[in-house]
Amino acid sequence: MAERKIKVIIAKPGLDGHDRGAKVVARALVEAGMEVVYLGLQQTPDAIVRAAVEEDADVIGLSILSGAHMANFRKVRELMEGSGLGDRLLTGGGIIPTKDQDKLKEMGVGKVFGPGDDLQEIVEYIRVNARRVSG
């Protein structure tokens, strides 16, 4: 039975333009056989979730290095719940202090990654925790 590819939205909300991490993860996911919709920079939470709905994405990944992670993850999570995407994985990375990571977990955000985290571990995490649909 052929499995549909895991589809991942990758986006950077806010003014932060440091997209090396987001792009490297995007490449790695494609190399690993997933489908990536790379939205790019200055995305709003609304636009990100709208794309996830349109694409029927399994995963949303946010990249935030500017310190604005709490507000952005919270807003995206709320919009996901409100749009029927409550069962999809919300993950991401950037510069996110450990104490904030715990707060994000309570919000329903998955694991988030930071500088030095292993690329292949990130890919595996997404593979294992994405919403999966077979058929």
Partner 1 sequence: MKGLPVARKNNEDWKEKYKGSGLRDADFSSISGRPLQPLYTWEDVAGSDPEARLGWPGNYPYTRGVHPSMYRGKLWTMRQFAGMGTPDQTNERYRFLLDKGQTGLSVAFDNPTLYGLDSDHPLAAGEVGKTGVAVDTLADMERLFAGIPLDRVSTSMTINAPAAWIFAMFLADAEKCGIGFDKLRGTLQNDILKEYIAQKEWIFPPEPHLRLITDLMAFCAEKVPQWNTISISGYHIREAGSTAAQELAFTLADGFCYVEHALAAGLDIEDFAPRLSFFFNSHLDFFEEIAKMRAARRIWARAMRDKYKAKNPRAWLCRFHVQTAGCSLTAQQPEINIVRTALEALAGVLGGCQSLHTNSMDEALALPSEKAVEIALRTQQIIAFESGAANVIDPLGGSYYIEKLTDDLEEEAESTFRKIDELGGVVKAIEQGFFQREITRAAYEYQMALSRRKKFHVGVNEFANPGQELEIPLLEIDESVEKDQVAFLRRTKVGRDNGAVRDGLQALKAAAAGGRNLMPPLLECARRYTTLGETSDALTAVFGKYREQPFY
Site residues for partner 1 per CB under 8 A = 14-20, 23-24, 26-28, 38-42, 66-68, 71, 95, 114-116, 118-120
Q: How far is the CB of 96 from partner 1 (least distance, A)?
A: 11
Least distance to partner 1, CB of residue 99, Å = 12
* Nearer of residues 28 and 131 to partner 1, judged by Cβ: 28
Give the nearest distance from C-beta 25 to partner 1 in angstroms. Answer: 9
User: Please, which residue, 41 or 53, has the CB nearer to partner 1?
Assistant: 41
CA 40 to chain centre: 12
Smallest separation (angstroms) from partner 1 to the CB of 79 = 18
Which residue, 3 or 118, has its beta carbon nearer to partner 1? Answer: 118
Give Cα separations from 31 to 25, 108, 116 (angstroms): 10, 28, 20
